[in-house]
Copies of this chain bind each other. A is one copy, B any other.
């Protein structure tokens, strides 16, 4: 549809004067192409983030924006982007930390969980992401499975259930383990539970470090 000319003049050299000034004070003369937050603005934004704000609503953005204007020029979109980026990068950071943590664990095998060691979540060594959607190839297979699972579950739910054996599900050695105990603790648990995209352990996936 819209083929953005990749070669547009991104240059926009803007002849920005390398004013070398360290503080991006709201000096209007600097017609920079992008928002350059002041220290105060950053401080406030981070404070809001710590308060739990992640994806502010339009109204919130408005309020925040007008509030931040006293410290320098800023628009709503800047606030919007800031939260987008900050959230994403915090998550990214944590993934790396978690990854490092797991790597460490793999080198120091934790005491084999007998029965009461809380933890051990590492399951797949594959990206995993939310792979629940991509385990099927023909498109209907999954549906079938689901239904089957459901049916099996509900129908047979009487007494003598016996490993219903949902399918020709060969155990496959896919899920070798390399368990590692982990559960909270690592990282600043600043994500809330309600959010359904914690992706705490996605680090197996799109990890860019390497």
A interface residues, Cβ below 8 angstroms from B: 12, 17-19, 25-28, 30-31, 33, 35, 38-40, 43-44, 47-48, 50-67, 69-77, 80-81, 90, 93-94, 97, 110, 113, 115-121, 123-124, 127-133, 135-136, 142, 145-146, 148-150, 152-154, 156-157, 159, 161, 163-164, 166-167, 169, 171-172, 174-179, 181-183, 192-210
Pairs across A and B, CB under 8 Å, 29 listed: A30-B210, A40-B118, A40-B119, A44-B118, A47-B121, A47-B201, A50-B199, A51-B123, A54-B196, A57-B145, A57-B149, A58-B148, A59-B135, A60-B131, A61-B149, A62-B169, A62-B174, A63-B123, A63-B175, A66-B113, A66-B171, A66-B177, A70-B113, A71-B118, A72-B115, A75-B164, A76-B203, A129-B194, A133-B195
